[in-house]
Structure 1
Amino acid sequence: MSSALWTEAVKAIPNLVVALLTLSLGWFVGNRLTARWDERKKRRELDLVALSVFYEIYGQFFAIWKLWSGARKGLPENDEFRREVLGRAAEAEGRLESLLVRIASERDLSDRDCILVGCFRQGFQSLRESIRNNEDLRSRLYTMSGKERLPVRWTGSEAPPYIAFKALAAYTANLLAKSSSPATKAESASSTLKKITSNRLEGTWVAEAFTLLDLKSPSWPIKQAAVSKGVSKRPTPVSGEGL
């Protein structure tokens, strides 16, 4: 009787081994899938937080612009209000720079993406620079000839910088709305950030946006204004409010 039991036990060993291996493999694969899902879920949550921060920064830009536009005239050079608004603009710009580092580190961006995000950064900087210079919001852009930069005001819904900035904001937000990559090589992230923060876009960011996003405006491209003796060169004025 004992011999028969032993024989049956030996026969059952392979089935037991298979069952244990199946359970172990199922446990391992299940844990890996759960961990991967949790990681993806966490990354998605962080992506949505980054998008929310972008929306907040964008809102700050327009709030500071309206504040500055409504109170700029008649302010002395050393006015405390101007220093406060300048500080707020610098803070918003700093938050954007921080977000750009994250975009460069966690996204696989094409050259086109880098240029357009960099253009948005240049447009954003226009606010701080205008407050620093104690003038209404404007960007200094190259004329059609590409030999001279002229100050172009953002006033008016058809003002080229205003149109470009709106389109660039939507493009950047769309990039942030997509899922980020789990890991980006440090060399790639460094190269991407360098492209985004390139100063070469400073006078051409509107032109790049109009070309890459196929934008249209009767006020673009900028034409060099006629110059008379003793009269400074000015961009073509655009009427209306763009706030």
Structure 2
Amino acid sequence: MGSALWAETVKAVPNLVVALLTLSLGWFVSNRITARWDERKKRRELDLLALGAFYEIYGQFFAIWKLWSGARKGLPEDDEFRREVLERSAEAEGRLESLLVRVASERNLSDRDCTLLGCFRQGFQSLRESIRNNEDLRSRLRTAGNQARLPVQWTGSEAPPYTAFKALAAFAANLLSKDSSPATKAETASSILMKITSNRLEATWVDEAFTLLDLKSPSWPIK
């Protein structure tokens, strides 16, 4: 009887090994799938948080602009209100810079993406610079065939800087609404951030936006 039991045990060993391997493989695959799903879910949550932060920053920009444009006239140079609004605009700009660092490190961006995000950054800076100079919101731009910079106001919904800024905001929101890719390499992220934050777009961001986003305006370019 002992020999028969041993024989049956030996026969059962391959089946047991197969069963254990199957269970182990199933556990491994299941864990990998769960880990990937959890990672994707977490990344999506972070993407939505970044998009929400962008909306808040965009809203903050307009709140400060309307506050400034409604109360600017008649304010003295050292007025406390102007300093407060200037601080708020600098804070909003800092939040945007922080978001751009995140975008550069978490997304694979094309040269076009970098240029358009850089254009949005330059347009955003116009508010702080205008408050600093105690003037209505305007951007100092290089016009067609002219190397000199001219101040172009954002007055009216069809003003070229305002048109470009709104289109750039829509582009950025659409970009952030999409799933991000795995984190890029550090050197790549650094290169991307350098492109986005380059001051080369300071006087040409409206031109770049009109060209890359195929915008049309009878008021632009200024001859």
Indicate the SS of the match to 1:139.
strand
Residue 191 of structure 1 is matched in structure 2 by 191
TM-score if structure 2 supplies the norm length?
0.99
Residue 47 of structure 1 is matched in structure 2 by 47
d(CA) in 2 for partners of 1:104, 1:194: 9
Residue 139 of structure 1 is matched in structure 2 by 139
1:2 Cα deviation from its structure 2 partner: 2.0
d(CA) in 2 for partners of 1:97, 1:157: 26
1:163 Cα deviation from its structure 2 partner: 0.4
d(CA) in 1 for partners of 2:211, 2:203: 14
Residue 165 of structure 2 is matched in structure 1 by 165
Q: Which runs of 5+ in 1 are unaligned?
A: 224-243
1:49 Cα deviation from its structure 2 partner: 0.4
Give me the CA root mean square deviation. Answer: 0.7
Q: Which runs of 5+ in 2 are unaligned?
A: none
Indicate the SS of the match to 1:97.
helix
d(CA) in 1 for partners of 2:155, 2:219: 12
Residue 84 of structure 1 is matched in structure 2 by 84
Partner amino acid for 1:106? E
d(CA) in 2 for partners of 1:18, 1:33: 22
d(CA) in 1 for partners of 2:178, 2:122: 23
The size of the alignment, in residue pairs, is 223
TM-score if structure 1 supplies the norm length?
0.91
Residue 59 of structure 2 is matched in structure 1 by 59
Residue 123 of structure 2 is matched in structure 1 by 123
Question: C-alpha deviations, 1:108-138, integer Å up to 9, x for none?
Answer: 0000000000000000000000000000000
Residue 206 of structure 1 is matched in structure 2 by 206
d(CA) in 2 for partners of 1:48, 1:143: 38
Runs ≥4 residues deviating over 6 A? none
Residue 153 of structure 1 is matched in structure 2 by 153
